[in-house]
């Protein structure tokens, strides 16, 4: 008899292991995709552990063998967008507040970013202060492929990557391995996946830096360091059209592949993403960027590309989205400006001092 999906209160396993408060995302059949209930459960656990001086470290990982978390539950977002509901903005409000909270945790917040870590999975891991990748890690912000702008603080993280590496990852949605995740500032250390159970056990009684040093290794060689020259030159352009043109004209096979990949994404989301990244570079705090991302996500919910992108990638899986408009040149200034407009339900307001209290 096949076991069914976990009950709502089992979708995040919360327990104590010595000095560690441990969180395990527990929807392995859905690649641990985040639901609103899971976000609330994580937040409640952090509140309890904040008040418990015996909890010295928080550790988050994912159940199953495929990855930490593939992102938010986009099937739920799809149904909400189709019916004009309000569940997605409510989910994003609590999810983004959780992302900001994770970044403010004073003690060690250890994330095992093993396997697939995408979208919302990046949000519950890469804002921590001890981020562990493995030889199996695939870290990505693939939102432009479903008509969204990178969120959960993704534009904050990617805008602060060296050179234009973050722009490359945001527009293409490309996944990176351990070395490139560390290079881009999305992770800190590489530990072989087979050593994670031993590391977790040691954290229960050992200081985090000591335990991590004992298990960390040099990651397999990445790709982005060797591609910095053409990435920085091409993605420094002021428009997506010019970026694509430079990529095609650069004479590098990898650059041409990047251009071809970009042209499969939502034209509106691409232009809104480039504008968001450039703006995020000028904003001083994660909270300010999350406020801007909330506006962008709520705007995307009211565009045809979000429903169409999720349909093509997740529902029907035909990988043939019909974007509206279908060409970069037809996306107007007004189309992009909508992504920074105040949502109907009001702003997130994280950057206000009282919002984080």
How much is the average pLDDT of 127-138? 98
Contact status, residue 138 vs residue 116, Cβ threshold 8 Å: yes
Q: Whose CA is closest to 173, among 283, 269, 77, 83?
A: 269
Q: Could you write out the DSSP letters of every residue in 98-121?
A: HHHHHHH-SS-EEEEE-BEEETHH
Residues assigned a catalytic role: 72, 120, 143, 151
Q: What is the pTM of this model?
A: 0.95
Which whole number is the average pLDDT over 323-328?
Answer: 98
Q: To 10 degrees, the CA torsion angle through 203, 154, 35, 54?
A: 30
Over 60: is that where the pLDDT of 335 sits? yes
**pLDDT, tens only, 226-235:** 999 999 999 9
Give residue 8's pLDDT band: very low, low, confident or very high (50, 70, 90).
low
322, 310 contact by CB (below 8 A): no
Residue 65 burial (C-beta neighbours within 10 Å; 0-12, 13-18, 19+): exposed
Q: Look at residue 2 in the predicted model and tell me its pLDDT.
A: 43
Q: What is the token pair recorded at 139?
A: 């870290």
Q: What is the pLDDT of residues 189-214, one digit of tens each?
A: 999 999 999 999 999 999 999 999 99
CB count, 10 Å around CB of 209?
10
Where is average pLDDT lowest: 226-230, 249-253, 306-310, 353-357? 353-357
Contact by Cβ (8 Å): 136, 193: yes
**C-beta of residue 117 within 8 angstroms of C-beta of residue 139:** yes
Kindly report, residue by residue over 147-196, the tens digit of the pLDDT: 999 999 999 999 999 999 999 999 999 999 999 999 999 999 999 999 99
Strand order in the sheet with 67-69: 67-69, 116-118, 138-140
């Amino acid at each position: 008899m096949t076991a069914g999906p976990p009950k709502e209160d089992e979708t995040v396993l919360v327990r104590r292991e010595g000095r560690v408060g441990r969180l395990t995302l527990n929807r392995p059949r859905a690649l641990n995709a985040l639901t609103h209930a899971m976000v609330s459960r994580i937040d409640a656990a952090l509140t309890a552990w904040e008040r418990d001086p015996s909890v010295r470290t928080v550790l988050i990982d994912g159940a199953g063998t495929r990855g930490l978390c593939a992102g938010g539950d986009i099937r739920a977002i799809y149904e909400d967008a189709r019916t004009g509901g309000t569940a997605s903005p409510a989910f994003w409000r609590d999810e983004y507040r959780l992302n900001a909270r994770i970044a403010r945790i004073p003690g060690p917040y250890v994330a095992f970013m093993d396997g697939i870590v995408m979208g919302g999975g990046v949000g519950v891991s890469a804002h921590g202060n001890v981020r562990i990748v493995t030889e199996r890690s695939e870290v990505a912000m693939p939102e432009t492929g479903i008509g969204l702008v990178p969120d959960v603080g993704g534009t904050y993280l990617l805008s602060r990557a060296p050179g234009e590496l973050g722009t490359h990852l945001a527009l293409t949605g490309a996944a990176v391995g351990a070395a490139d995740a560390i290079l881009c500032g999305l992770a800190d250390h590489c530990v072989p996946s087979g050593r994670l159970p031993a590391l977790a056990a040691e954290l229960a009684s050992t200081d985090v830096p000591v335990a991590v040093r004992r298990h960390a290794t040099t990651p397999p060689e990445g790709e982005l360091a060797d591609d910095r020259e053409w990435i920085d030159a091409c993605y420094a352009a002021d428009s997506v059209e010019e970026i694509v043109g430079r990529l095609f004209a650069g004479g590098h096979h990898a650059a041409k592949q990047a251009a071809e990949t970009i042209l499969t994404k939502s034209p509106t989301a691409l232009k809104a993403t480039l504008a968001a990244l450039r703006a995020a570079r000028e904003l001083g705090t994660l909270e300010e960027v999350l406020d801007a991302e909330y506006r962008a996500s709520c705007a995307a919910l009211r565009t045809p590309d979000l429903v169409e992108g999720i349909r093509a990638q997740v529902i029907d899986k035909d990988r043939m989205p019909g974007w509206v408009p279908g060409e970069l040149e037809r996306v107007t200034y007004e189309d992009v400006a909508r992504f920074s407009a105040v949502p109907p339900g009001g702003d997130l307001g994280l950057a206000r001092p009282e919002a984080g209290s």
